[in-house]
Amino acid sequence: MDILVTNVTSTSEITITDPYIVILGSILVPIISVIVVSLIGVATIRYTKKQHERNAMMDLFKMLSNTNHKQAEDQIIEGHQNNNLMKDGILAHPFQEYAKTVWRNYTQAGVLVEKGLIPKIDYYLMFGIKTVVMHYILNQELTRRRQTTPQHYIAARFTNLAIDCFEYWSKHGHAIVDPRTGESITLENLGERIDLPS
């Protein structure tokens, strides 16, 4: 290996003439550059995904904690406990708008969980029991609507989310109970999972 160092006034010049070092340098620099750029890209993607999850979780908190949603849940639970929620197998008129608010919001939550925008376990822990209870209470009306209207998929993601939540809590040995009777809710009480078209 020949290295030539010359001193010209205040600058130094190093010349590497060994062909192996020159070739190795010309190969390593692009490889290292690609690796560094890839690592930066992966870190950026992970950060962006985490930021989307945080934003989706904040939106979900706002949606399920807002006054209209909480009031709707409270009215439905009260109607269920007083045994006046259903009349002749149909959701009583005073509760119709409350029910739409609840199943619309839980359907949106189901989409967020299904698409991976919200971590499933976090959702199950924070909202899972309430999701199961609300679906249990509204299941008769949801089933009736699916059978009597062309909206066969109405609140399907709400149903699927409630089943997922129930299975999570059941797997961990936690019974979820009917707020009126205190009896355990079963998977059969929630209906069957609904396969949605792709």
**Tens place of pLDDT per residue across the chain (198 aa):** 455 555 555 555 556 566 767 677 777 777 877 787 777 777 777 766 667 666 767 777 787 888 899 999 999 999 999 999 999 999 999 999 999 999 999 999 999 999 988 889 999 999 999 999 999 999 999 999 988 887 778 899 999 999 999 999 999 999 999 999 999 999 999 999 998 887
Evaluate whether residue 40 is within a structural domain: yes
The pLDDT assigned to 53 comes to 67
Domain check: are 132 and 176 in the same one? Answer: yes
Q: Do 22 and 98 fall within a single domain?
A: no
In terms of domains, do 83 and 156 share one? Answer: yes
pLDDT of residue 171: 97
Both 138 and 180 in one domain: the answer is yes
User: Is 195 domain-assigned?
Assistant: no
Same domain, yes or no: 103 and 39: no
Same domain, 102 and 175: yes
Would you say residue 1 lies in a domain?
A: yes
Whether residue 117 is found in the same domain as residue 178 = yes
Number of compact structural domains in the chain: 2
Q: Is residue 59 part of a domain?
A: no
User: Is residue 86 domain-shared with residue 14, that is, in the same domain?
Assistant: no
Together in a domain, 84 and 24 = no
Whether residue 73 lies inside any domain: the answer is yes
Burial of 89 per CB tally in 10 Å (0-12, 13-18, 19+): exposed
Q: What local confidence, expressed as pLDDT, does residue 166 receive?
A: 98
DSSP-derived letter for residue 85 is S
For residue 33, being part of any structural domain is answered with: yes
Q: Quick check: is 28 in a domain?
A: yes
Closest CA to 72 of 44, 105, 42, 29: 105
Structural domain for 99, as ranges? 66-190
Residue 30 sits in the same domain as residue 103:
no
Same-domain status, 90 and 45: no
Give Rg (Cα) of the chain: 30
Backbone CA torsion sign across 196, 134, 64, 104: positive
Same-domain check for residues 39 and 87: no
Q: Is residue 23 part of a domain?
A: yes
pTM confidence score:
0.74
d(CA 145, CA 153): 10
